[in-house]
Chain A
């Protein structure tokens, strides 16, 4: 198992204690294309934070590739995020004053890869995503879909074990959303990348092979969706 969560609990203590995750047990295997679906307040964002080592949990165990992720120093956590996880965000989170290629290079910069090497790699990835011509452009000169593809290139460049996508289509129109989801699906099939998508849209979830439903901090049913018929709006469409 690539990812293993055993009875993970998380409580926020902002005045009123809020028990957000109430004993999460989840296993995700290498090469899976999974979506975590839930309404807002269901705890899916908190789960994503824990999966991405952006936040810590109170009790339970979380393993990535057999490594227990717990009580890490900030430095170790940064290192794991850098090497094991690629992030795709709802609002793209590209750095505005850096060009597309510089944004893609950034994770390699934090790995200490020499400038020429990381530039070359970043250009390769941009090219694969059809953005070679846009390499020297700044994010505010690109469309939403292009920005998200730059972000995907950035998440892939370190060859991470897991790609974590947080509402990757949240800021995109339906057509672009579909393209992005197809791209993720393609990456999963062709490159065998493990992808976890967190979303509240059933249409987005339907693009994945497995849907984990989360509600009130507890995992409900886990749906096998290899036939992609889960969406009430029909197959291969994302309704906005």
Chain B
């Protein structure tokens, strides 16, 4: 093995400039591949972080207007969901799939605390909602069964509202500017949250006790707060109407199953409101599982596209190496003739060229990979730390735009294969050199 490397080194040493120029193209190809994959990962991570707070087995249902005439009623009729719909959802018809059902009523409301006020959306909710939406309580507790039963006047506020109620100067909700708000005020907001528990806030002329504070993330609405379903319904006189039904399900494992269930469910709800069973606009359904599948599919497509682009960039480098090896073989024809005359087999010669090709590709490829990883780190330290504020929501552009060890291994494999392909034709040519070449005078 050492002999082979000695030979390669001797050959490369005689053609430093040529080898470096060719190697640069390979380095560039791998560099691009790594940076593209890193940026792609960052983009995907940013998307996924947005979806992190959502579970993958819930559906949200809300009323809309019909789009088809049915049962003697014309289209454009407004649908209203009511308790009956929640009961159907939880009923025997769908019990095979549906787990928890949480109907919601909501009302816009203004919270007063001392001299500060914040306007937001009050959602009357069930405890099950916490699980379904992965609501993270950072202080105190979420709503419980007793709150529902006794119609307690308690609220669970998000961090952002607490900050605005207790913070300085700011009296308007949802006005955060700047980079990584939560890392900057993280400790501070925990203290604020703690101090808020047990305090009373004034909403709609009544006093409500704060029992919990939830974490608000960069993408979800920061001015929605929670109160017991029964309390909100009573206080705001909602009667039987509900604004939204959220339920969790299990046992739907594919897009097809999910679609079939959705269709069946839609038909059942539509029927209750005398809308056409296939009217897709009478009620709105948001399926987090379908969303999740879409997201995965998107990730796969993105990753595939980046690999393809990266590999095509690399291809330029490979062709360069192949070209240079062909020239090398041409130059060394006489030498290979001598080697064969004194006993080198075709494979001995092939091995020499292949090993040289793989070595050039691998060494310069690793250099490119190394530089690419550094570039990813720089990307992470700069663009990866910033976020843009769009419609009250903090959206990170790139989150952790780096590549993992598996990509490094895959790239290694790619390099070895690429080097072999680059060396294949030149090596075959070299092996075909006839030993008579040795007798030809230089």
Contacts and interface: CB of A to CB of B under 8 A. Distances in A.
A91 B442 contact: yes
A107 B343 CA distance: 6
A160 B98 CA distance: 87
Contacts of B348: 78, 110
A82 B311 CA distance: 43
A75 B346 contact: yes
Interface in A91-140: 91, 93, 95-98, 106-107, 109-111, 115
A81 B338 CA distance: 11
Interface in B114-129: none
A54 B435 contact: yes
Contact of A93 (B11, B345, B438): B438
Interface of B: 2-3, 10-11, 14, 334-335, 338-348, 434-436, 438-439, 441-442
B3 A109 contact: yes
A111 B343 contact: yes
B436 A97 contact: no
Contacts of B342: 81-82, 87, 106-107, 110, 154
The size bracket of the interface on A is: 20 to 34
The winner among A55, A74, A154, A166 for most chain B CB atoms within 10 A is A74
Contacts of A115: 2-3
B439 A75 contact: no
9 contacts: A54-B436, A54-B438, A78-B348, A81-B343, A90-B441, A93-B438, A95-B335, A98-B10, A166-B439
A48 to B, nearest CB: 8
B341 A110 contact: no
Given A90-B441, A110-B344, 20 more contacts: A45-B439, A49-B436, A54-B341, A54-B434, A54-B435, A54-B436, A54-B438, A54-B439, A55-B434, A55-B436, A78-B343, A78-B344, A81-B340, A87-B341, A93-B438, A97-B10, A106-B339, A109-B3, A110-B339, A115-B3
A79 B439 contact: no
Contacts of B439: 45, 48-49, 54, 89, 166
A203 interface: no
Contacts of A79: 343, 345
A75 B3 contact: no
B438 A78 contact: no
B438 A74 contact: no
